[in-house]
Amino acid sequence: MRLSRRHPRYRSLVVRAGLARAARSGLVVPEGLIAQGRGEAFDYLLGERTTPSARRAERAAAEWLRAARHPVVSVNGNVAALAAREVAELARAVPGLAVEVNLFHRTPGRARTVAAALRAAGVVEVLGVRPTARIPGLPSDRGLVDRAGIYRADVVLVPLEDGDRAEALRAFGARVISIDLNPLSRTSEAADLPIVDELVRALSEIAAHARRWDRAPRRPRLRRFDAERSRRAALAAISRHLTRRAAGRWRRPAPPR
């Protein structure tokens, strides 16, 4: 099907078509398509933009990743399908950032497919294809990780994670940064630094902030972040957006030319 660039939901339709292809190739599982739908619904509620509180969280996330001794970004099928290029960009912007495949629905073949998508996008080294350690508190395959990656990480970025794993990583001692459009998800609630924003927007913004530290005279510190305040700000942004729309004070931005 040909998609018209003038369609008001052009970008979303392109993303959906890409995910449907990724599902046919085995990169994304059917559950991943449901997760995308849930995310899109929250993006509507947020006004499909990066809110000021999300931007602040992204700046803090860049600082944490640059301050960490062993920063890791955890990648699942949806993240590889939607944002492999942005993951590669982030890995270039954060020296020492390990990129690890971490799958809820793990098979060796799927782990290899995710790793291949990341390498094709420019990620030089991908961990987690053959896991070598286990995070306690997670049943079966879901706790499998790489000893050189998540197992020893002090800061882990978990885009589109599920709540159990975010909680287990935190209990294991890592600081958890989440990217999840749903401020009410257990992941957002468990994270030390929840980013309530769309994946591609968030990763690009974090990378841009991380690059600014190249010129800094010293390494940043792991500063305190008020996660509860940030989550409340995301809910307030939704509430304000809905109030504006309910009052008829909102215009959809013009589609790209």
Contact letters (x/-) for ligand ATP, 137-176, by CB under 6 A?
-----------------------x-xx-------------
Residue from 51, 74, 113, 182 touching ligand ATP (CB under 6 A): that is 182
Residues 47-76 that bind ligand ATP (CB under 6 A): none
State which residue, 77 or 131, has the beta carbon closest to ligand ATP: 77
State which residue, 163 or 220, has the beta carbon closest to ligand ATP: 163
Q: Report how far apart the first and last C-alpha atoms of the chain are (Å, whole number).
A: 20
Residues 184-243 that bind ligand ATP (CB under 6 A): 185-187, 198-199
The CA distance from 116 to 247, in Å, is 48
- Report if residue 38 touches ligand ATP, rule: CB under 6 A: yes
Half-sphere exposure of 185 (CA within 13 A, CB side): 25
DSSP designation for 215? G
**Structure-block tokens of residue 206:** 């974090």
Residue from 27, 28, 42, 91 touching ligand ATP (CB under 6 A): that is 42
State which residue, 39 or 47, has the beta carbon closest to ligand ATP: 39
The CA distance from 140 to 165, in Å, is 12
The residue assigned the tokens 């995070």 is 135
Q: Which residues pair with 209 in a beta bridge?
A: none
Min dist CB 106 to ligand ATP, Å, is: 14
Span from 45-53, 128-136, 145-153, 178-186 in contact with ligand ATP (CB under 6 A): 178-186
The CA distance from 156 to 175, in Å, is 6
Min dist CB 60 to ligand ATP, Å, is: 17
E runs forming strands in the chain:
71-75, 98-101, 126-127, 133-134, 144-145, 155-159, 175-179, 193-195
The CA distance from 203 to 179, in Å, is 9
DSSP designation for 130? S
Span from 35-43, 53-61, 228-236, 243-251 in contact with ligand ATP (CB under 6 A): 35-43
State which residue, 127 or 166, has the beta carbon closest to ligand ATP: 166
Residues 73-132 that bind ligand ATP (CB under 6 A): 82
Span from 4-12, 88-96, 107-115, 180-188 in contact with ligand ATP (CB under 6 A): 180-188
The CA distance from 147 to 124, in Å, is 18
The gap from C-alpha 5 to its chain's centroid, in whole angstroms, comes to: 26
> Could you list the residues that contact ligand ATP (CB under 6 A)?
35-36, 38-39, 42, 82, 160, 162-163, 179-182, 185-187, 198-199
